[in-house]
Amino acid sequence: MLTLLMTFITLIFVMLVSYQLAIKHQSLTANSYFMASRKLSYAYIAGSMMLTNTSIDQLIGLNGNSYSNNLSSIAWEVTAVIPMVILALFFLPRFMKERFITLPEFISLHYDTVTRRYISILLILTYTFVLSPASLYLGAITINKIFNIQELLDFSYPITISFLIVIIGLIGAAYAIFGGLGAVAISDTINGVFLLFFIFFVPILGLYILGNSSFYQGINIIFHQSPEKLNMIGGVKDTVPFSTIFTGMFMANLFYWCTNQATIQKCMAAKSLEEGQKGVLLTGFFKLTLPIFLMMPGLIAWHIFKNNPIIHSDLAYPQLVTMILPLWMKGFFVAVIIGAVMSHFNAIINASSTLITFDFFKPLFLNITDHYLVRFGKLVSIIVALVSILVAPLLMYAPEGIYMILRRFTGFFNMPVIAIVLYAFFRSNYTSALAAKIVLIFHAFIYGIFILYLNFDKIFNINFIHCMGILFFIELILLEIIGKFFIVKKNNFVENVSKDIILMQWPHVKSVSILLIIFLILLYITFSPFGIANQSMVNGKYFFIILSILLGGLTLVILTESKYYLKCRK
């Protein structure tokens, strides 16, 4: 009873505060509903982007992978800092200069309206049928594990999970539909603070219990008993081989952080370019520091339950939390988990609604008022939410861990989109709408038939992430060849520079970007056979390597900052 009461109180608190703050600072216009009036500060941007990304599939999926394998799956998280640096330095200035609301607007500018709508459809289908249902499903299984809802209600497992999905989905839908992006961003930030607490608290408490009431003994067990599980450099047989970082994974992360509507909509709603860049790079800092804590519970669960193994790796995190948290704190934790689910769910609903409203509905009614745009957006949000709720229960029959299933399915659309966008960036005045359409159809056919249906990657023992990378480069070549020999659109467009958004860059954007990349390299050295994943390497040689890289990085930053100040003095 106490657990349920804590859950209810926390949820109501976050919802009321978020809604009141959002309503206080916005009028009911399309710009305020879909883009938070373009007044988001860097703190709200970072909090919202981080929580949209740090969804329940990360908590469940990453810990499932660290429980069953090692830390190699962390590559999806920490290497995202490179695309985020690219977003801050290149993509965001371009998007804000042109005052885009949706990514397909950029596509329309460089290709044509048909290509724009085709990509919108791909994004909407993926949001509605894959990403949104996954967040609802994972939230449901976590709550069921902690509260034992199945036993409490005396339902079968499928009915229990379906019931929880409906409850979470309806609450989350109401949250997004009536509050808009402003309420979503504020609630994400509040939920983000709570989530940060548990991201740090769960592994700390887990280590304390693992070490028999000794935190340091728990650390000692993690470092000295099976240190190979601390290895971030995945081997050929691991879920995420290290080599995939340089092929499909980089492109997939580039898509997610630079072109995914649910992600970039937050930073494009910044009140200035400087605020947007600070928000993006602060998110990058979180992506380097939080994943270790995110995946640590899986390692702790492996040590605690190794004599009584967990049947399904996706249950490692919920089972550990159920064991270690006191009763009163479980309610608070469940509220935070529901908040994380709703944040991810809300972001996807809002992004889907924005795409449908601005890419399909508004072009049909050019003189439509903001009132009707918002009404239509809310109606679309309701439909998207209901479809996601209906699809989510089907995921309980998925044969693999949910995290890798999501990554596998997102490969269906992310490679052609990022290829088309990158090509437009580098060949901005020379693009082919025909080439873009052929690439989209080519990828859908090849990836859908040979990877998702026939599983060629498994038959020939090639990681599907490599397949994504191969397809990306093939599609870039197709864009160039078809654009060169067939119908070409020469874009002699005049940039629509926004006058109501401050486009001055953050002075320290380059130096902070360099520091983030240096920290990424240090992280990989630390959690590798050259560092703590190999006991014999924790010696002077290892620390000399770390010190050398750190000094080199600091030198680069000092040089960059010196050039900036000299330029300012001139």
Q: What is the pLDDT along the chain (570 residues), one digit of tens a residue?
A: 555 666 666 666 666 665 555 555 454 555 555 544 566 788 878 877 876 677 666 778 888 889 988 899 899 899 999 999 999 999 898 888 877 777 778 888 888 888 888 888 888 888 888 888 888 888 888 788 777 788 888 888 889 999 999 988 887 777 666 655 555 666 666 777 778 888 889 999 999 999 999 999 998 899 888 888 999 998 888 878 899 999 889 998 998 898 887 788 778 888 888 999 999 999 999 899 888 898 999 999 999 998 888 877 878 888 898 899 887 788 778 777 777 777 778 778 878 888 888 888 888 887 888 778 888 888 888 899 899 999 999 887 765 556 667 777 878 888 999 999 889 888 766 778 889 999 999 998 998 888 877 888 778 888 888 888 999 999 999 998 888 876 565 554 445 555 556 678 888 898 899 889 988 988 898 888 877 877 665 544 555 566 566 666 666 666 665 565 455 545
Written as one letter, the residue type at 97 is: K
Annotate 207-246 with b (16+ C-beta within 10 A) or e (fewer). Answer: bbbbbeeeeeebeebbeeeebebbbbbbeeebbbbbbbbe
What DSSP string describes 215-231?
Answer: HHHHHHHHHHSSGGGG-
Whole-angstrom distance, CA of residue 311 vs CA of residue 240: 22
**The predicted structure's pLDDT at residue 260:** 81
**The predicted structure's pLDDT at residue 298:** 93
Query: Interhelix angle for 509-526 vs 540-569, to 10°?
Result: 180
Whole-angstrom distance, CA of residue 391 vs CA of residue 385: 10
**The predicted structure's pLDDT at residue 89:** 93
Q: Is 459 exposed, middle or buried (0-12, 13-18, 19+ CB in 10 A)?
A: exposed
Whole-angstrom distance, CA of residue 401 vs CA of residue 444: 24
Whole-angstrom distance, CA of residue 450 vs CA of residue 430: 32
Query: What is the chain's Cα-based Rg?
Result: 23
State how far the alpha carbon of 161 is from the alpha carbons of 146, 489, 515, in Å: 13, 50, 44
Closest CA relative to residue 184, chosen from 6, 21, 390: 21
Pick the CATH number of 2-29+52-506 from 3.50.50.60, 1.20.1730.10, 3.40.50.620, 1.20.210.10: 1.20.1730.10
Whole-angstrom distance, CA of residue 298 vs CA of residue 70: 9
Whole-angstrom distance, CA of residue 29 vs CA of residue 8: 31
pTM: 0.78
**The predicted structure's pLDDT at residue 29:** 54
Sequence-distant (6+) residues with CB within 8 A of 171 are: 11, 338, 342
**The predicted structure's pLDDT at residue 31:** 53
| Tokens 């997610």 -> residue | 256
Closest CA relative to residue 211, chosen from 199, 224, 197, 196: 224
